[in-house]
Amino acid sequence: MHRYGGLMARAAEGEIERWPVGVPVALWPRMQAITLEVIMRAVFGITEADRLERLRGVLRTMLDWTTQPRRLLALAALGPERVQSKSLFREALDPVDELLLDEIGRRRDDPSVAERDDVLSLLVQARHEDGRPMSDAELRDELMTLLVAGHETTATALAWAIERLVRHPDKLRRLTEEVEAGEDDYLDAVVKETLRLRPVIPIVVRRLTEPMEIGGHLLPAGVSVTPCIHLMHRRPDIYPEPERFRPERFLERPAGTYTWIPFGGGVRRCLGASFAIFEMKTVLSTVLARTRLEQAHTGSERVKRRAITLTPSGGAEVVVGRRTAPQRGGPRPEAAPVGA
């Protein structure tokens, strides 16, 4: 995971440099730009500027198209097979498919693929149990899954972290000081508390394969149950004063496997949880080392549902000031860049 540290920090630095100073700016789309860059480099393994530029363009169009609530409903109603054939959907998807299949072809032909550590290179070398390599279509589907599952979720969690921190200047100050001192504990607690109080995804869904008793009700096999992340994270017996943003609670007591579940749980728990936590810590450290942030408006931003994610209603609007000299906590020079 630490191999990706330098790459994540550089993606954040490049984006932070473009943030306007002294005026309200919504950080949620800015965080999306960072997480998209990280996926294109760490997962797809693309580093050449012109290919990144082309992919960035078609991915943005596709992501904007597919994450509009109205369209998501249509996708859910039609089901994947029928959606695949709809020309409107194909218009957004075909250019992405084309570029991804081109990248897959290049990676298959790359004689140094074994030395690369981006996810696509690892998948190209993976084998099914019977020894077969993954097909182009399988590889493309894996890349798309990682992109869709990992890009907006992590950006939203980062936006919420900033939204909560600027409304708690004492916590922001403590975090800045500890990050400057090269310490990780409070940063880890801030990430956990953000994901507790503002879980990006409110529920997970499971279908029972056998009867199960839940809360005194016997549910038959075949029933769908939806463990609610939001409600679990607000239980006052587990989290006293559950509405308060208090990262210290995770310094006092470790996060419980069954009570802190922003990434779901069990065999279908989020595959990218470690990646997301590491990315959140790296991006937050880099932001704190280079900027001074203040809230743009008083009052908390409301939780707004956008397709399946819960986002800050104002896009996490802040006023950015620059710090003069780069502080500790920014990119660590020893972190090896990936493919760059």
Where do contacts with ligand HEM occur on this chain (CB under 6 A)?
145-146, 149-150, 153-154, 157, 200-201, 204, 262-265, 268-272, 275-276
The CB-of-322 to ligand HEM minimum distance in angstroms stands at 27
Minimum CB distance to ligand HEM smaller for 83 or for 157: 157
In the numeric block, the tokens 């710090």 are attached to: 323
The CB-of-300 to ligand HEM minimum distance in angstroms stands at 20
The CB-of-229 to ligand HEM minimum distance in angstroms stands at 7
Helices (H), the chain: 5-16, 27-38, 49-66, 69-78, 80-85, 87-109, 119-125, 136-166, 169-180, 185-197, 229-232, 249-252, 273-290
* Nearest residue to 62 (alpha-carbon basis) of 28, 34, 88, 35: 88
In the numeric block, the tokens 């587990």 are attached to: 238
The CB-of-3 to ligand HEM minimum distance in angstroms stands at 14
Minimum CB distance to ligand HEM smaller for 36 or for 179: 36
The CB-of-298 to ligand HEM minimum distance in angstroms stands at 27
Minimum CB distance to ligand HEM smaller for 28 or for 319: 28
Minimum CB distance to ligand HEM smaller for 6 or for 199: 199
In the numeric block, the tokens 């503002």 are attached to: 198
Q: First CA to last CA across the chain, in angstroms?
A: 16
**Dihedral sign of CA atoms 180, 181, 186, 188 in order:** positive
Minimum CB distance to ligand HEM smaller for 89 or for 260: 260
